[in-house]
Amino acid sequence: MPSKGAKKAQKAASGKRGGKAPTKADASSENGSAPDASVILKMEVQQDAHVKELLAACSSTGVLSSHPESRDVSLTNVSITHHGQNILDDTTIELNYGRRYGLIGFNGCGKSTMLTLLGQREFPLPDHVDIFHLSREIEPSEKTALEAVMDVDAERIFLEKKAEELSMLGDDYVDLLTDIYDRLEGMDAHKAKTRCCELLFGLGFNKTMMQRKCKDFSGGWRMRVALARALFISPKLLLLDEPTNHLDLEACVWLEEELSHYAKCLVIVSHSQDFMNGVCTNIIHWQQNKLVYYSGNFDTYMKTRGDLEENQMKRYNWEQDQIKHMKEYIARFGHGSAKLARQAQSKEKTLAKMVQAGLAEKVVSDRSLSFYFPDCGAIPPPVIMVQNVSFTYKEGSPYIYRDLEFGLDLDSRIALVGPNGAGKSTLLKLIEGDLEPTKGFVRKNSHLKIGRFHQHMAEILDMDATGIDFMMRHFTHIKEIEDMRKILGRYGLTGKDQTKPIKTLSDGQRCRIIFAYMAQKVPHMLLLDEPTNHLDIETIDSLAEAIRDFQGGLILVSHDFRLINQVADEIWVCEHQTVTKWEGDIQAYKAHLKKHVMKSFNNEKSRLAELTT
């Protein structure tokens, strides 16, 4: 059955609309006049200092090869130069409506740069393709979280303007008009509040938090507000760069389910294979300055790529073997008897045809990394004792924990899970000693060295220094630069990247410097708080392997189900002011979590629907 938007599009295209065309005045906000429609095409093209700096360092080219009014976007001859270095060279960007793409590639290859250039319309994209590039959190304003998500005046005017233009062009644009009218219907004030509440609830906001001002939230929660707004706007092209970075496991499970039904075009950069398996219909692999396209989710991509590369290597080896034998025959008999010389000439022609037809290239393996945590030596147990610990941040506030009692040794391999605010990071701080228990004691072996990774570790970096300078300054016993180059190279920072100012490196490359720094401290116990946020998939696998080989203990907080599955022997759930062991693996916990999350979400959705009827 046609939607209301489809019926309205048919009427508009045939000139039978029962009313006047939408005007700018109709969309004026309560707070003032509507924005000038002439600037609406760049409604989300806002440039902060970081974006301006990146655009100044980049040059890009591309040709729109798809029809200007098509919902699919095809750009050919795409090249991107960053600081004078080619990062994409004469490749194609294919983004088809209804597809959800996972963009993968090693840290620093340019994934975030490409999304920024698309979001800033540095490529010749059709005007009717509106873009939302989620690159930063909502501003800390006086608006409530709910108001910030519902603030879509610019988007509404953009859509109404395009609808007015397309309605004058006849039946050829009915599909585009249908999309626009369906979206305008979703932005209707009566329905908008319900939808926005649903999105915020799914991302972890309760009713009280929805009415809290944006300025009162941390950056991570404001990023959730921005994500909810992106989903509410529902643009034709949605660009998400590591959308799970600021989410707990519950919100990740909900977002995976929400994005798996995104009907427009979605491009995500994510380090989580598990997340991409649940969301993506296609994978784009950034390889050797080209974009290579695969159908299916991440697991399908891995299998398909493996099969293709295996066949490619078989063909390559066969061709090289044939070329070798033909060259040997030509060299040996090319000047022999007339009969042998003719055979040699025939083989020479065959060889020339093979070369002209194109030879298979040797498969180039992905960069290999070998993260490593040095042998820390043995410490007799107990290494850490948490005795009757209770904690609150200030007197009169609710307790985060009450009466915790447990021990940790060098063979501990624990993943902490639980909702945001349950105290996972707080527990790591208590164990390290950054926080003092309100009651009880945390007793540690006097020889214990702890290596803690957290989201603010980048603050220890000198952004104007190079990676080598930073490390040489902190580890003065290493005298030779070449020795330090080898250490950084082991963690994936190689070549010219070692001598670039840290401020020019990607977030993932900065994380590699931090891991190199941590390893050189030779810790006995690793406390890792969301260590994968800016790492690529290959680096995460290398980190997991290093953790498995590590002789010390581990406590991990992560929203990456796959990493937890690779390294954790026990799952501890932080909830209701205590810590309890989960009897089962992380996949069983995810299934339990998904059932609980979706049940709560559907109940809230039904409640909101009843309020609006």
pLDDT digits (tens, 9 = 90+) for 268-300: 999 889 999 999 999 999 998 999 999 999 999
Percent of the chain with pLDDT over 70: 89
**pLDDT score for 227:** 94
**pLDDT score for 86:** 92
Strand segments, DSSP code E, in 124-277 are 131-134, 237-241, 265-269
pLDDT tens per residue across span 71-94: 899 999 999 999 888 999 999 999
pLDDT tens per residue across span 89-132: 999 999 999 999 999 998 888 999 999 999 999 999 998 888 99
Residue 298 and residue 252: Cα distance in Å, rounded? 17
Cα angle, residue 282 at apex, residues 286 and 69 outer, rounded to 5°: 95
- At residue 37, does pLDDT exceed 50? no
| Order of all β-strands in the sheet with 413-417 | 450-453, 525-529, 553-557, 413-417, 570-575, 578-582
- At residue 574, does pLDDT exceed 80? yes
- Most confident range, picked from 14-18, 140-144, 172-176, 568-572: 568-572
Contact yes or no for 292/127 (Cβ under 8 A): no
**Mean pLDDT throughout 234-246?**
91
**pLDDT score for 188:** 66
**pLDDT score for 482:** 92
| Order of all β-strands in the sheet with 73-82 | 58-64, 73-82, 85-95
**Mean pLDDT throughout 463-467?**
92
CA distances from 31 to 220, 345, 378 (A): 28, 84, 66
Among 50-59, 366-375, 487-496, where is mean pLDDT lowest?
Answer: 366-375
Copy the structure tokens of residue 31. 């707070």
**Mean pLDDT throughout 347-361?**
85
**pLDDT score for 10:** 57
Among 1-5, 102-106, 172-176, 580-584, where is mean pLDDT lowest?
Answer: 1-5
Residue 129: half-sphere exposure toward Cβ, Cα within 13 Å: 28
Handedness of CA 363, 532, 244, 43 (dihedral sign): negative
- Output the average pLDDT for the chain: 85
Residue type, 597: V
Q: Please state the separation of Cα 85 from the chain's center in Å.
A: 24
Copy the structure tokens of residue 550. 């590590």
Copy the structure tokens of residue 19. 């009313």
**Mean pLDDT throughout 533-540?**
84
